[in-house]
Structure 1
Amino acid sequence: MAARRQLLLRRATAGWRRGYSSAGAAEYLHRSIVPTMHYQKSLPRLPVPKLEDTITRYLNAQKPLLNDDQFRKTEELARQFEKGIGRELHEQLVAQDNQNKHTSYITGPWFDMYLKSREPVVLNFNAFMSFNPDPKSEYNDQLIRATNMTVSAVRFMKTFRAGYLEPEVFHLNPEKSDTEIFKKIIRFVPSSLSWFGAYMVNAYPLDMSQYFRLFNSTRLPKLNRDELYTDEKAKHLLVLRNGNFYIFDILDRDGNMLKPSEIQAHLKYILSDNSPAPAFPLGYLSSENRDTWALLRKNLLENGNEEALQKVDSAVFCLSLDDFTVKDFVQLSHTMLHGDGANRWYDKSFNLIITKDGTAGINFEHSWGDGVAVLRFQNEVFKDSTKAPAISPQSQPASVDSSTAVRKLDFKLNDALKAGITKAKQKFDASVEGLSLNMIQFHEGGKDLLKQKKVSPDAVAQLAFQMAFLRQYNQTVATYESCSTAAFKHGRTETIRPASIHTKKCSEAFVKELSKHSTGQGFDRHLFGLRYLASSKGIALPDFYQDQAYARINHNIISTSTLVSPAVQLGGFGPVVADGFGVGYQVHDDWIGCNVSSYPTRNGKEYLQCIYKSLEDIFNVLKGKKIGS
């Protein structure tokens, strides 16, 4: 069972195959005969790995990063930890886990890790995924696309809340499990046993506990630790344009969605409003250090802005309408990853961003959830808005009085708040100024050729990143690749450590083959959980965690993440450390795309040239050609 479950931990992008159903087309995407949360109760729990296995994996991951003397010291500290304080902490962690069977051992510490961080969320945590253009070019108009995507997003929300959204399932044998017959049978299996029924036909339901935070949710800045806030009763949409904040109800008092023509009318009204940009745009505050922002928010609340802020926090989501067209992929990445700071509210669970030419993307706050939930949302919104668009280029907006339906939020600012916004803008501009985004497309091969040669596409991409860094900087460094643990109850992510002795040797010798796979038994979250436990119990930080090698392996210079979906054009995030690279990549059937972010201490453009050269070398070896110099 465990071996099969491990196959799930790569990435959960299985949802695309679901057929579009017109049932309840006005209000719902589809009506699944299996209730949305049918499998949630019976999901298997995330296992706490054996301590000796964690230590062995940790030492294996350290080998390529350390010389012999350094490794001997680290090994000694690790073995002492394993026999001493580490054993005690591990037993306490297992006992704690056994008392909290409703969740996973990593859930609390992981939320704390995000919410206690004082770093600005923009560039440090928020990631983006951009949509592919609508296949029908005339639908890539800002007003048309904003209307259609808003309608599809609300349909998604309503479908999820009604329990009609098809459960997220990873199908290893879709001919057996992704069928009407199977669904008709499994819906009668009690929720407490349903996972086992799916497992019998090689289908693996995924955790959907994060989905409720997609809507009406915001991360609130508080001193020392932020809070997640959700108000499912709120019925309004937040729209940002030119740094101005607008709201209008998108649901009526019975919870029915506004007619698409009325949504179109209200958005048209906002797009034609020629109010100047505010002198002190509030959006910048959500890009600040969290403690600084918490104090400024307190000032805002005390200065008579409570109702306006509550409207921002409780809105269904934030729609950001940008007044420019996108020239190329680099500008697209900058727009979706950070924008201008004035026309975003980075604390919302997500901002749906649509530019003048209908280019669309999502910038999402990371503490509440991971890419699995956002990607499912993005897939469904793209499919629904392109295959069943609510309005067409010929549609006329409804004859309604938008001036009464749409309300512009006004914020009362005192001198301290104005100074705070000015400072936040200066810091934001400086951060963005130092960020480079570069990309390549490698067209000499992709997934098809690699599978034909029986080589893992993901492993080849990771090997290329290792080779490139070695070529550029003549060293092997700590590398992080995120993988989902959504196959388990309340699973979040685990770290894959692509830098190994094998990749190091491979990189040095340009060897053609590498086998790397994810397991549900990563060492990073386990060690993190033990450290968190020690800290929460007031235990002095064990020597193991004070080892420089531990600090170094957690200073992830290369941080990578991948996803491929028919809805997604591009994805990216900022470097996780000041001297690092943030690498978003996609391995397509016949090409490989790579999007790299970096700050001035690293040369992202040169790194991409080295990745290109490395891919060239790998593919030449696989094709039986000579490697160039």
Structure 2
Amino acid sequence: MITASKIIKPTKTSITLHSGNPYVLQIRNTSRYRKIRDVNYQYIQQSKLPTMHFQKSLPRLPIPDLSKTGERFLRSIKPLLTDDQYNQSERRTLDFVTNDGKILQEKLIAKDNRCKNTSYISEYWFDLYLRDRAALPINYNPLLVFQNDSRTAYNDQLLRATNLLISAVRFMSSLREQILEPEVYHLNPKKSNTQTFRTITGLLPEAVSWYGAYLFKAFPLDMSQFVGLFGGTRLPQLNKDKIFHDPSSKHVVVQKNGNFYIFDVFDADGNILSPSEFLGNLSTIIKDDTPKAAHPLGILTCQNRDVWAEQRAHLESTGNQESLRKIDSAIFNLVLDDIVIQDDKHKILKHFLHGEGTNKWFDKSFSLIVTADGVSGVNFEHSWGDGVAVLRFFQDVYNETTSKPFVHPDTKPSDSNITVSKLDFNLDDKSKDFIEMAKKEYNQWCESLSIDYILYEGLTKEACKKFKVSPDCIMQLGFQAAHHLLRGNYVGTYESCSTSAFKHGRTETMRPCTEKTKEFCDSLHLNKSSKEELRAIMQECSTNHSQLVKEAAMGQGFDRHLFALKKIAAENNLPRPELYDSYEYKYLNKSILSTSTLSAPSVMAGGFGPVVKEGFGIGYSAFPDKLGAAVTSYKHYNDSSQFIEALHKSFVDITKILSC
């Protein structure tokens, strides 16, 4: 029903690639008129502050002082090495800082000064992802699962998929029109998350708007990755992939039973389809009785990137180019699965992390997955961006669909604007052989993976704060203690930390295995310290941990800096410094414990695969009522269930110490 009409100038996007960033797009407006019906329905937000208002004035990611990087590197490796090993590494590090590193630092600073519209790490980080030939599922693509809707009827697959799709398209429309609320970290929300803040900073020119926000103790975050959410796909290429992006895409691709369907989400006037029209299109797909695809093409995205690149080239040469481009250019991928989860956490983690691969397309910027019983979540490709953009989208969509959904149990599907069409593929015998081999290999790979989880209710986020210890530190202490309990040693540990407070910031590594955590675990397991002494050490750990997190978030870690210096050496055909081939550098960067957290009330579960075959992948959250972690590993090397048992014991030990 038309409730309002307005003639507006919409944003028609054209793109310019930013120097030093092979993906970030600059959006320019051109004028044409169209008729909008029901203006409020078109957008999830209509912010007075333009989406990119702070982007121009964001501070640039700092290049750390080289001597500080050397000191931080040495501190991080000390708990992992013997005294003799550490003495040797100290000599190598000092030599690097005073000789080769000094030359590389000068060249890195000079390059950074030439590329002031980006960050020193951006180009290198894109290159790292796109050159890796490892398959995307498990190795790279993370999972995030929504909490179920508290109203059972709204968890019906068709109903939930329709509401999620509507809200996702509304989010995209706000982003395209530059009226999506900018992402801002409010240090004191009562003072800065206000209309006054928005009015004052909105009046400031873009070139100085960040400084106005800073006066409110509010910190705008980089929004450059947000355009990567929609209309994007990672295309397999030999040696190095590339990212394809269609900024004006109007259709979604839907997968069911390994088959692909598409339909436009905008009508002929450029308006978002009505709720009943969305319902009608998805109902048409769900009711379609086409059997499961005998040769499901999606399984090919589960392979080594060079293998898939060659196979895709063959598919394109045999008449499938147009259908593949429809998948590539779709706003995103909506996956309708026939599996029933029934609150089985193991099944949830396996299905949203990898599944059978026959009804997925892991190359898409993200896939929105809805099971037969309405359990929903996303699996996203990681090269284009990080958790900040995905989590913002995730939360906004969840909040709207669970509080103000557009489709209800009594909503009737419309039979107008039904534009569903099924994509057809010409598969010759060679292509069919590709698919059958990929299915077999992917199944074997997934079977080699061990997945388990813990929900520990003995300690909560608020309880940690009450005891004056960081919840994140407590979880990381638990991981270190669990590994030490199982293996008796300390290993390279990676905690991801966002640097989105800076223009084109990506992530920095925070190294949570410190001398203090080692002291705590040794004291705990040797039973030589009292609870009071252990608690004192734990509080020191927390203080140290919080400082390291702050340094990483402020661009004062050392991992990205050392990585960039290594790339500078290669770019300039300079000898590779001894440090990069040293035992200590390789040992630290073999992330046996790879950890990351995306905590929000909307998140039921999150996780990813181990990054090395001998390692653990640990996605974790400190919830208001419990601590949770999903742990993955390869069965031949580790047992995730054993790690979970050790982690539970560690959490119990920590709880007893805090409660003393």
Asked if these proteins are the same fold (TM beyond 0.5), I'd say yes
* CA distance in 2: counterparts of 1:444 and 1:526, whole angstroms: 39
Using the alignment, how far apart are the partners of 1:564 and 1:94 within structure 2? 35
- The residue identity in structure 1 corresponding to 2:129 is Y
State whether residues 24 and 30 of structure 1, in contact with CA within 8 Å, keep that contact through their aligned partners in structure 2: no
Q: How does 1:5-24 map to 2 (within 5 A)?
A: 24=39
Counterpart for residue 650 of structure 2 = 614
Name the residue aligned to 2:32: none
Determine the C-alpha separation between the residues in 1 that align with 2:304 and 2:197: 50
Aligned to 1:9: none
More displaced, 323-332 or 413-422?
413-422
Which amino acid is the alignment partner of residue 469 of structure 1? H
| Amino acid of the structure 1 residue aligned with 2:410 | Q
Mapped to 2, the partners of 1:103 and 1:409 lie a distance apart of: 39
Q: 1:81 aligns with which of 96, 118, 122?
A: 96
Q: One-letter code of the match for 1:307? A: E
User: Which string of whole-angstrom CA distances, capped at 9 and with x for unpartnered residues, describes residues 461-519 of structure 1?
Assistant: 10111011000110111100001000000000000000011100111113222221211
Question: Is the CA contact 2:197–2:216 (under 8 Å) kept in the aligned structure 1?
Answer: no
Local SS of the residue matching 1:298? helix
- Which residue identity does 1:535 align to in structure 2? A
Match of 1:428 among 435, 439, 442: 442
Q: Which residue of 327, 330, 339 corresponds with 2:355?
A: 339
Match of 1:379 in 2: 395
Q: Counterpart in 1 of 2:216?
A: 201
Which residue type is aligned with residue 639 of structure 2? N
CA contact (8 A) 2:277 2:417 kept: no
**Partner residue in 1 for 2:484:** 470
Cα deviation, residue 178, structure 1: 0.6
User: Do the aligned partners of 1:170 and 1:205 also contact (CA within 8 Å) in 2?
Assistant: yes
Partner secondary structure for residue 303 of structure 1: helix
Q: Answer whether contact 2:146 2:604 (CA < 8 A) is retained.
A: yes
**In structure 2, distance between residues paired with 1:254 and 1:498:** 54
Question: Across the two proteins, how many residue pairs are aligned to each other?
Answer: 600
1:218-248 deviation per Cα after TM superposition (whole angstroms, max 9, x unaligned): 0000111100111122211100000000011
Work out the CA distance in 1 between the residues paired with 2:372 and 2:294. Answer: 23
Q: Deviation string for 1:131-164 (max 9, x for gaps)?
A: 0111221100000001000000000000111111
| Identical-pair percentage | 47
Q: What is aligned with 1:549?
A: 584
Aligned match of 1:451: 465
Aligned-partner Cα distance in 1 for 2:570–2:468: 46
Contact 2:232–2:331, Cα closer than 8 Å, also in 1: yes
Whole-Å separation in 1 of the counterparts to 2:269 and 2:63: 45
2:366 maps to which of 347, 350, 357: 350
The CA distance in 2 between the partners of 1:35 and 1:254, in whole Å, is: 24
CA distance in 2, matches of 1:143, 1:498: 43
1:299 and 2:314 equivalent? yes
Change in 2 beyond 3 A, CA 1:171/1:338: same
Cα deviation for residue 24 of structure 1 reads: 4.0
Q: Is the 8 A contact 1:449 1:590 kept in 2?
A: no
Matched residues in 1 for 2:588 and 2:630: separation?
A: 23
Range 364-373 or range 412-421, more displaced: 412-421
Alignment of 1:181-200 (within 5 A): 181-200=196-215
* 1:230 lines up with 2:265 in the alignment: no
- Does 1:597 find its partner at 2:632? yes
Distance in 2, matches of 1:182 and 1:524, equals: 36
Question: 1:588 and 1:149 mapped to 2: Cα distance?
Answer: 24
SS in 2 for 1:304: helix
Alignment correspondent of 2:163? 148
Say whether 1:36 aligns with 2:51.
Answer: yes
3-state SS of 1:351 partner:
strand
Distance apart, 1:253 and its partner CA: 4.0
Contact 1:64–1:499 (Cα < 8 Å) also in 2: yes
Deviates more, 1:466-475 or 1:420-429: 420-429
1:393 aligns with 2:409: yes
1:133 is the counterpart of 2:148: yes
Query: Match of 1:603, as an amino acid?
Result: D
Q: 1 CA distance for matches of 2:218 and 2:576?
A: 42
Distance, in Å, in 2 between the alignment partners of 1:224 and 1:34 is 42
Determine the structure 2 residue equivalent to 1:14: none
Letter in 1 for 2:595: T
Q: Would you say 1:419 and 2:455 are equivalent positions?
A: no
- 5 Å-filtered alignment, 1:42-191, equals 42-191=57-206
User: For 1:48 and 1:254, how far apart are their aligned partners in 2?
Assistant: 49
Query: Among residues 268, 272, 279, which one is paired with 1:264 in the alignment?
Result: 279
Which runs of 5 or more structure 2 residues have no equivalent in the other structure? 1-37, 525-533
Long gaps (5+) in structure 1: 1-22, 625-629
C-alpha separation in 2, matches of 1:421 and 1:532: 37
Deviation at 1:401, TM superposition (A): 7.5
Q: Give the 3-state SS of the residue equivalent to 1:471 in structure 2.
A: helix
Q: For residue 83 of structure 1, report the CA deviation from its aligned partner.
A: 1.2
Distance 1:78 1:461 in 2: 31
Cα distance in 1 for partners of 2:653, 2:328 equals 50
The answer as to whether partners of 1:235 and 1:252 remain within 8 angstroms in 2 is no
> Does structure 1 residue 311 correspond to structure 2 residue 326?
yes
Q: What CA deviation, in whole Å up to 9, does each residue of 1:505-561 have, x standing for no partner? A: 111113222221211201000000011111122223221111021111110000111
Distance 1:360 1:278 in 2: 23
Q: Which moved more, 1:314-323 or 1:418-427?
A: 418-427
- Partner-residue secondary structure (3-state), 2:282: helix
- 1:401–1:526 CA distance, 2 compared to 1 (3 A): closer
SS in 2 for 1:87: helix
1:555 is aligned with what amino acid? Answer: K
Cα distance in 1, alignment partners of residues 145 and 340 from structure 2: 14
Instruction: Kindly indicate whether the alpha-carbon contact (under 8 Å) linking 1:348 and 1:364 is maintained by their aligned counterparts in 2.
Output: yes
Q: What does the per-residue CA deviation read over 1:91-134, in whole Å, with 9 as the maximum and x for residues that have no partner? A: 10011011111000000000000000000011100001000111
TM-score by length of 2: 0.90
